[in-house]
Structure 1
Amino acid sequence: MEYYVAYLLMPCLLWWSINLLWRPSSWKFGYGGNRLPPGPRPLPIIGNILELGDKPHQALAKLSKLYGPVMMIKLGAITTIVISSPEAAKEALQKNDQLLCGRQIPDTIKASGHHAESVVWLPASDKWKQLRKVCTVQMFSAHKLDAGQLLRRKKVDELVSFVHQSCRRGHCVDIGKAAFTTVLNLISNTLFSVDLANHDEGSSQEFRNLVWGVMEETGKPNMSDFFPALRWFDLQGARRRISGYFSRLAIFGGMIEERTQVRASMIDSSPSNDVLDSLINLNESGELSRHEIKSLLLDLFVAGVDTSTSSLEWAMAELLHNLEKIARAHEELDRVVGGNGGTLQEPDIARLPYLQAIVKETLRLHPPVPFLIPHKAESDVEMCRFLLPRHTQVLVNVWAMGRDPSIWPDPDSFMPERFLGREIDFKGRDFELIPFGTGRRICPGMPLAYRMVHLILASLLRSFDWKLEQGVRPEEMDMTEKFGITLQKATPLRAIPMEV
């Protein structure tokens, strides 16, 4: 990995690192008379960094089988607890929610300054509560979501129209790109009443590359996180790269300014009454600053677009990898939607249990954020008979929990049927399946993601049959994961649509 170059500067940190690693709160014998969680023995200075590999979620899942569902590792100077079972996750995120609700902020996010006003990265402070409330009231309440049904249907109809054109031309469809464009325009219309991309142009791919760049740089191992004294050297170039991504995503300031000028020039015209208008109203009343609005919009875009897109691409990939599942989904859609004039509407989702099972199974196998967003202990925490010292980073490996054979029979197989007749969902109550987190740090955009993912997936399945590119057989599909703060499919999914 590219962080090996940092070893050149390690001698100057020798005394400091050894002092951190071997102080009286010893690794083996515990802290304050309590035993620390078990874990692999760390190497001097670097700790367990070398054991992460390029897919840390998988590497740590294997280690947890040896050391247990509450495991302790050292990542340079950072003490990290890895949680890999529903029982431990429930104790951490429900029983100790208040003590473990802090955030371990990556250096890349600090470099951009985004963490100071981000609903994702702020501590659970009054400012965070205010931003969280704004998200819920202005965008994710049941009333707001119901009011946006026609808009979502319109954007999905545009996607179906684009796929129909590709079908007539005999062209392959890049599923991830098409889904990204749809989700991007759906969110941009909700926020600004404008499209930001077109299915026939490359604009969405450029925006997608920027969003993935932020996710990749934020999630991958970084020497500046493991050894804070090295952050100014930016040995991996992560600060430089993410600063470039954020500068190119800085479109929201211009949109705010333009809308403000339009509002000031209006006499009899009515405002757009979209989310941006609501946020500007809050700014004018002194409840939100311009910087807070820009940070909030950036959070909504980057997190909302990327996670929904990756879930849709993984769902279609698993279905094309298991063609018999598509046939069952078609049968259910024909039976339920066929009697409704053939037009799929959001209320139909509640009557599509197999479609819901497909989404749940996709999120089990491919959680959008495999470790959730890193938590941090705000004080010493007693948990599962262990003591977690203050400032400990806490990673909840939901990817490992989704692959645990003691919870899920045949865990590596795609079997939506396992959810039929089973009262389990992904809304934070059932700790076997918490891809969006739980407790006070649960993803605020989950209600919108739920509607978007089900509606788009159902429309793609309802309107078309699908087959892989010429010469590719289902068993030969590349299902490799690409790791960042979110999990993406390493090889884009390209499929040929056929008229039903």
Structure 2
Amino acid sequence: MAISLLCFCFVTFLTLIFLVKKIKQSKWNLPPTPPTFPVIGNLHQIGELPHRSLQSLAQRFGPVMLIHFGFVPVVVITSKEAAEEVLRTHDLDCCSRPKLVGTRLLSRDFKDVGFTPYGEEWKERRKFAVRELFCLKKVQSFRHIREEECNILVKKLSESAVDRTPVDLSKTLFWLTASILFRVALGQDFHESKFIDKEEIEELVFEAETALASFTCSDFFPVAGLGWLVDWFSGQHKRLNDVYLKLDTLFQLVIDDHMNPGRTKNHEDIIDAMLDVIHKQGKNDSLKLTVDHIKGFLANIFLAGIDTGAITMIWAMTELAKKPKLMKKVQDEIRDCLGNNKETITEEDVDKVPYLKLVIKETFRLHPAAPLILPRETMSHMKVQGYDILPKTRILVNTWAIGRDPKLWTEPEEFNPERFIDSHVDYRGQHYELLPFGSGRRMCPGMPMGIATVELGLLNLLYFFDWRVPDGMTHKDIDTEEAGTLTTVKKVPLKLVPVRAM
């Protein structure tokens, strides 16, 4: 009876808080809201693929929609016009981040760039990241790494092509992006490093993303620590801490290796650049970096840089494999532009194949790796499409839904790269119908590095190999079922047979 009474009092207490908030908000012209349950709000309406659930709700309640995750108000944006108002007109009003349990832990108490709330410290770190880590000059300095890793990929695929064995491209392309990022960011050979078990890295990325995206009561019911107790009993805190410890161990081993005076350095990687700042910084420097800042930056790169590039390449190859005529057209144009006698592909070749860039744009439209832009949080009152958005409201922009909006795109469910011929629409944050990297102050700073990897990786796959479905299958058997939370992967791994063409 005591437990039942406690539960009744707890629910009653939460319900009263919920009703008081409703009364306070009644004077505003708030966006349309789907029916809610007391306490939990709309959490029961969010399925395994949140971007699809939110698209379905938006079709009924409009492109600016207010929902509630527990006690937390969330405005979901599902149109180009509303996205432009949020990300350009009101960018400064809503360019902060919510302080979530998982992001606080993995960012070392917000010592990163991606998850840190808006403020002077974040601005200094963002400037540093763009200037020292992700600027075009720095990205170009890593060109030889991308070319070398793609050459290794071609050699391995050529071995499979000899006996026509199927290749798991989902795993293969993950390893490609991981091998590039580990050399660029950690100075480690992904295949031979003593600190890295490459078989476990994919699982660790999945665990980290799952832990971040999982239901955390502390974030939705911040009432007197009660949410924390629920998370503790459910095991959510343990899952987050397990991921944190695994990442921390990996990062610390690599940082210790960089601080070893006897270390052989082939190039200046991202850790080298940040350690150099730490060693030279003075008391009056506006940017203060510590080892925790390095780990926070590495967590961003680890979570945002490894699987997103691989996901884009996997979806591109999936859609091309489903349409053999389109695959042949893409390959014919690439081979006509580059000739038939190249032994290796360089990044100079990428600009010679414009049709490939159309394929990548169309992949970003139909299959953005992150279907929901990382949540923003409003810092002041603003109006979007005539609706009041109050301070401390989370903003979710559903780029996946915008990319499939029939008002913007002809036959939006069809993969058709030629829709971008003579089109001014680009993916660099200025056209709000195509936002794979976001826009505004919180746009992904790693975009140039990610694009360089995707372009070169796909060019190697399509130039050197023809691709066949495994025996017993036809191209019609290739599915596009999704899985994932923060990122959306192909649920069933893509397996194709490479046939050496060049």
Which residue number in structure 1 is paired with residue 276 of structure 2? 281
The secondary structure found in structure 2 opposite 1:423 is coil
Q: Report the residue type matching 1:370 in the other structure.
A: P
Instruction: Name the CA distance, whole Å, in 1 between partners of 2:6 and 2:498.
Output: 54
Contact 2:98 2:117 (C-alpha < 8 Å) held by counterparts: no
2:255 corresponds in structure 1 to 256
Q: For structure 1, which segment, 381-390 or 233-242, has the greater mean C-alpha deviation from structure 2 after superposition?
A: 233-242
Q: TM-score of the superposition, structure 1-length normalised?
A: 0.91
Structure 1 Cα separation of the partners of residues 251 and 106 of structure 2: 15
CA distance in 1, matches of 2:329, 2:240: 43
Residue aligning to 2:228: 231
Query: Which of 172, 183, 187 is equivalent to 1:193?
Result: 187
Give the alignment of 1:365-444 within 5 angstroms.
365-444=366-445
2:107–2:299 contact (8 Å) kept in structure 1? no
1:478 and 2:479 equivalent? yes
The Cα of 1:71 is off from its aligned counterpart by 0.3
- Name the CA shift for 1:223/1:321 in 2 (closer, same or farther; >3 Å): farther
Change (3 A) 1:148 1:16: same
| TM-align CA RMSD | 2.3
Contact 2:50–2:485 under 8 Å retained in 1: no
Q: Take 1:412 and 1:403, find their aligned partners in 2: how far apart are those partners?
A: 6
SS at match of 2:259: helix
Per-residue Cα deviation, 1:8-37 (whole angstroms, up to 9, x for no partner): 98634323332333226549xx54x43100
The one-character-per-residue Cα deviations of 1:126-175 (angstroms, maximum 9, x if unpaired) are: 22122222222222211112222222111100011110111113322111
1:208 is matched with: 202
Identity percentage of aligned residues: 30
Instruction: State the 1:399 CA deviation.
Output: 0.8
User: Any idea what SS the aligned residue of 1:296 has?
Assistant: helix
Q: Is the 8 A contact 1:337 1:343 kept in 2?
A: no
Aligned ranges 1:489-500 → 2 under 5 Å: 489-500=490-501
- Counterpart of 1:316? 317
Residue 430 to residue 341, structure 1, CA distance change in 2 (3 Å): same
What residue identity is the alignment partner of 1:241? Answer: R
The answer on whether the counterparts of 2:356 and 2:459 sit within 8 Å (CA) in structure 1 is: yes
Contact 2:185–2:271 (CA under 8 A) maintained in structure 1:
yes
Q: How does 1:80-91 map to 2 (within 5 A)?
A: 80-91=74-85
Closer, same or farther in 2 for the Cα pair 1:340/1:93, shift >3 Å? farther
Tell me which amino acid in the other structure corresponds to 1:472.
M
The equivalent residue for 2:110 is 116
| TM-aligned CA deviation for residue 444 of structure 1 | 0.5
Matched letter for residue 292 of structure 2: H
Q: Separation in 2 of the partners of 1:191 and 1:157? A: 20
1:381-428 residue CA offsets vs partner (Å, 9 max, x unmatched): 222211111111111011110111111111111111111111111100
Structure 1 distance, partners of 2:266, 2:200, is 30
Helix, strand or coil: the match of 2:467?
strand
| C-alpha distance in structure 1 between counterparts of 2:270 and 2:107, whole Å | 24
| 2:430–2:439 Cα contact (<8 Å) kept | yes
Count of paired positions: 485
Task: Tell me which residue corresponds to 1:290.
Answer: 291
**1:348 corresponding residue in structure 2:** 349
CA shift, 1:320, in A, is 0.9
Counterpart contact for 1:166–1:497, Cα < 8 Å: yes
Q: More displaced, 143-152 or 59-68?
A: 143-152
Given candidates 238, 245, 252, the residue that maps to 1:240 is 238
Partners of 2:321 and 2:475 within 8 A in 1:
yes
Q: CA separation of 1:114/1:489 partners in 2, compared to 1, >3 Å: closer, same or farther?
A: farther
Residue matched to 1:4 = none
Corresponding position of 1:3: none
Q: Confirm or deny: 8 A CA contact 2:399 2:435 kept in the other structure.
A: yes
Find the counterpart in structure 2 of residue 217 from structure 1.
Answer: 211
Relative to 1, partners in 2 of residues 1:459 and 1:296: Cα closer, same or farther, differing over 3 Å?
same
Distance 1:194 1:8, change over 3 A: farther
